[in-house]
Amino acid sequence: MAESMRDIKRRINSFQNMKQITKAFEMVSAAKLRRAQEQVESGRPYASKIREVIASVAAGTQGVQHPMLTSRTVKKTGYLVITSDRGLAGGFNGNLLRTLVKTVADRHQSKDEYVIFVIGRKGLEFLKRRDYPVIGEVTGLSDSPKFSDIKQIASQAVGMYADEAYDELVLLYNEFINPVTQRPVEHRLLPLVDLKGKKGDEGAKTFYEYEPTAEEVLAELLPRYAETLIYSALLESKASEHGARMSAMGSATDNASDLIGNLTLQYNRARQAAITQELAEIVGGASAQE
């Protein structure tokens, strides 16, 4: 008998408590995931409409130039990384940050060649501790973030591109594939090169009247579009976060169940052994008296 019955009993109890907590966590995340998915959905019309208008402006007017549409030689890069504020979400933050570290190490020789914006406490702590050039941060976002929560960092990131502080802006976040799969992706946000390139530009069929002028409308719309893309990436990352947490907690619950099962078996064996021993002692004692 490796452990006494009482010790085993105590361990079973503590695992049961843990299991209850992870189970509750899993259910909370499932509910939040549903809400986050709805938010992603409700943000779509805005993004697609603004894209449609920009595409038609770009296609309908010849020779409209805007710094956000033309690529420059890349001397410096801005990264915007979206992580979560809380942990307990499996590899959610770890995978993303590893991707970032790897990308940065592959592409740049020194820390002067890039700057990082970060959303989420986990990413901020990680990058600050390792002395990465973090120049903008947002933490403590709620589970259903509002556009105004990230408006400032988004317009800072877009504005610094416009001021030529860096020559491209790259978004790094966890793409939501389905509730149990998330994947870190890298998305080049600025310059907006793929806008014109989309096949058969649907917008070209409507010729708008612009007020005041096409250039000014474009100058107004492009930064806003870029900010919207950042916001939708954030919403998607939130959905991924809840998904990741849900599956992490789900497997924690399963592991707890396994452990409890094993321990219960051990407990019963120990109990049986104790009874057998007691019987043997009684029988032994009785036969000694004969």
Partner 1 sequence: MSTMQLDIVTPERKVYSEEVEMVIARAAEGDIGILPNHAPFVSPLKITAVKVKKGGEESLVAVSGGFIEVSENKVTILAETAELPDEIDVERAEAAKKRAEERLSDEQNEEINFKRAQIALQKAMIRLQVGKNR
Binding site for partner 1 (CB under 8 A): 39, 42-43, 45-47, 49-50, 53, 57, 146-148, 151, 206-212, 216-217, 220-221, 224, 228, 231-232
CA–centroid distance for 282 within its chain: 64
What minimum distance in Å lies between the beta carbon of 49 and partner 1?
Answer: 6
**Which of 47, 49, 62 has its CA nearest to residue 207?**
62
**Which of 36, 53, 18 has its CA nearest to residue 241?**
36
- Choice between 145 and 184, CB closer to partner 1: 145
- Choice between 46 and 185, CB closer to partner 1: 46
What minimum distance in Å lies between the beta carbon of 235 and partner 1?
Answer: 9
- Choice between 172 and 229, CB closer to partner 1: 229
What minimum distance in Å lies between the beta carbon of 162 and partner 1?
Answer: 17
What minimum distance in Å lies between the beta carbon of 61 and partner 1?
Answer: 11
What minimum distance in Å lies between the beta carbon of 147 and partner 1?
Answer: 4
Residue 65: Cβ within 10 Å count: 9
Looking at residue 34, its amino acid is R
Please report the sign of the dihedral spanned by the C-alpha atoms of residue 211, residue 213, residue 214, residue 219. negative
The answer to whether the beta carbons of residues 64 and 119 sit under 8 Å apart is: no
CA–centroid distance for 104 within its chain: 19
- Choice between 145 and 250, CB closer to partner 1: 145
- What is the C-alpha to C-alpha distance for residues 179 and 246, in angstroms, rounded to an integer? 8
- Choice between 160 and 256, CB closer to partner 1: 160
